[in-house]
Chains A and B, each alone.
Chain A
Amino acid sequence: MKKKILIVDDDIDYIFQMKLKVESMGFDTITAESQKEAEKIIEEIKPDLCILDLMMETDDSGFILSYKIKRRYPDVPIIIATAVTAETGMSFDVMAEENQRWINADLFLDKGIRIDQLQREIKKLLKM
C-alpha cells in the first residue's frame, strides 16, 4: 500500500505543486490549508509523514501543529518546510533549544529545496 503524506500549507499554489511532487515520488497525499483543518484530519487519519508550513493562521502554526501531531502519533515523522529562516532572522527564535524540544519536528527544510533532496529526506524519515 502507498504511504500517505499529509501536506499542510496556507498557500494553495504551494500545496498544488507539492502534492504533484510528492505523488510523483509514488506516495498518496492528503492536504490541508490551515492548522485547524489539519487538526481535524489527524483525528481520523494517521498519515505516514507530515510536511508542514510554518506561518499559517499565526506565525507559529506549524510548530503548534507539529507538537499536536507528535503528541497523538509520536512515531510519525514531521518535516517543517519554511521560507522564513533564511530571510527573516527569525531563525534564532525558531531554532532555540527550548523551542526545539517541544516542537519536536524531525527536520526543518527550506521551501526552495530541490525535489531529489526532498525525496531523499522523505525516504530517510520513512526508513525506505
Chain B
Amino acid sequence: MATFKILVIDDEQGIRDGTRRILQNFKVDYPFMDEHIEFEILEAATGSEGIEIIDTQQPDILLLDNKLPDIQGVEVLEYVKNKHYDIIVVMITSYASLELAVKATRDGAIDFIPKPFTPQEIRASIENITKQLFLKRMTQSLNSTGKQIRFQFLSVLSHELKAPLNAIDGYLHMIREKQFGNNVDAYTEILDRSMERIKGMRQLILDLLDLTKIESGKPTQKLQQVDVRQIVQMAIDTNRPYAIQKDVDIYLNNKQPVMMKADAGEIEIIMNNLISNAVKYNRTGGRVDCFIEKLPEAIIISVSDTGIGLSEEDTQKIFDDFVRIKSQETRNITGSGLGLSIVKKIVDMYKGSVNVQSTLGKGTTFTITLPAPED
C-alpha cells in the first residue's frame, strides 16, 4: 500500500477540514498499479508554514490557495519550482481568475480546482494527479534501474482509453436526462454509438494483451515447426464472418503446407491484423488476396485488398503506435491504432521486414518477409 502526502495550504479552516474529510478515506487504483494509493493529509494555514512543511515533510501533492495571509500562493509555487522539488501543485482558485491560472501554469501548477469545489471535483483531480505522479515515479525508478519505460506510450494510452469512456459517459447522461423526449430513434442511435465505442475499447485491450505478450520478451515464445499456410487459413476463417458482413471475399493462393520455425501464436497475430485491416478498409464487394511463397532462405506472405488505399505520406507512419489514418472513409471505423505497430514489432523479432504498397482509392498490399533458413 503506497501513501501520497497531500499538503493543503489554505487560510480557511473550512477548506482544510473539508479536504481532509473528502480525501482521508479516498483510494486510487489504476490498471498499471498492483496496489491502492492512499493519502495522508497535512495542513498549513499560511504560506510560510506551508514552506516549512514542504521542507521537512516532502509532500507529494500540494493543494494551494493563492490568497494567503502572508505570502501569495504563486510565491510558494515559485519556491517549490526553484528548489526543484518533485511535488505536483494544484491551485485552489476561484474559477474566474484566468490570469492567475496562466501565471501559475507557467510556474508549473498542473491543475486548478475551482472554489468552492464539490467532493467529486477534488477527488477527480486528485485521482488524475495520483495516476500521473505514479507513472512519473515509475518512469523515474525504471529509468534509474536501467530499464526503458515508454512513458509517452502510457500517456497516449490513457488518452485513448479515456476518450471512449467520455463519449459513452456523455451518451448515458443524455439518456438519463431524456434529452430527446420520446424520440426513440435518437436513443437507438446514441446507444449504437456507445456500443461501437465499447467495441473499440475492447479491441484496444485485446491489442494491448498482444503487445504485452510481445514485450514481455522471448521466454514465452514457443518456437517450433509450424505450417504457415494453416495459420493464414485460420486467420482467414476468423475474419470470415466480418468479411461476409461487408460482402468482401478472401482468397488464399497456396494449398501446400509451408513450414517454418516460428511461434504459431505470433504468426497468427500478424495475419489476423493484416487480414482484418484488409477487410475493414475494403469497399463493399471488394476482395482480399493472401499469398504465401517459400523461397530457399525466406518465406514471403502478402495480403492485398481492394480498399480505400493510403497516401504516400500515410504509409510512412502507419507502423507507429496509436496512429490511425483519419479521413471521410475511416471516420466510422473503429480501431486502436496499435495493430500494425504490433505487426511490425513481431516481424522485427524475426529479423524480417514488412513493406507496404498502396494506391489511394485502389487498394493496399502488405508484404512480409520472414527469414527461414532450411534446416
Interface residues of A (CB under 8 A from B): 10-14, 16-17, 20, 33-34, 55-57, 83-92, 95-97, 100, 107, 111-112, 117, 120
Contact = CB atoms under 8 A, between A and B. Distances in A.
Nearest to A10: B326
A-B CB proximity, top 4 nearest: A13-B167, A88-B155, A95-B105, A17-B170
Interface in B188-210: 190, 193, 197
B171 A83 contact: no
Given A83-B166, A111-B166, A55 B159 contact: yes
A34 B328 CA distance: 10
B108 A87 contact: no
Given A33-B331, A95-B106, A107-B98, A14 B155 contact: no
A25 to B, nearest CB: 14
Contacts of A96: 106
A11 B179 contact: no
Contacts, number: 76
Interface residues of B, number: 36
Contacts of B159: 55, 83-84, 87-88
Nearest to B324: A10
Interface of B: 95, 98, 102, 105-106, 108, 110-111, 114, 124-125, 128-129, 131-132, 135-136, 151, 155-156, 158-159, 162-163, 166-167, 170-171, 174, 179, 190, 193, 197, 326, 331-332
Contacts of B136: 89
A92 to B, nearest CB: 7
A87 B193 contact: no
A13 B301 CA distance: 38
Nearest to B128: A86
Given A14-B163, A14-B167, A85-B110, 8 more contacts: A16-B193, A20-B174, A85-B111, A86-B132, A87-B159, A88-B156, A89-B132, A91-B105
A91 B190 CA distance: 32
A78 to B, nearest CB: 13
Nearest to A11: B163
B295 to A, nearest CB: 39
B163 A97 contact: no
Contact of B166 (A89, A91, A112): A112
B24 to A, nearest CB: 23
Contacts of A85: 110-111
A40 B106 CA distance: 33
Contacts of A20: 174, 179
Contacts of A10: 326
Nearest to B139: A89
Contact of B155 (A13, A89, A95): A89
Of A16, A57, A117, chain B has the most CB atoms within 10 Å of the CB of A16
Nearest to A94: B105
A12 B331 contact: yes
A125 to B, nearest CB: 10
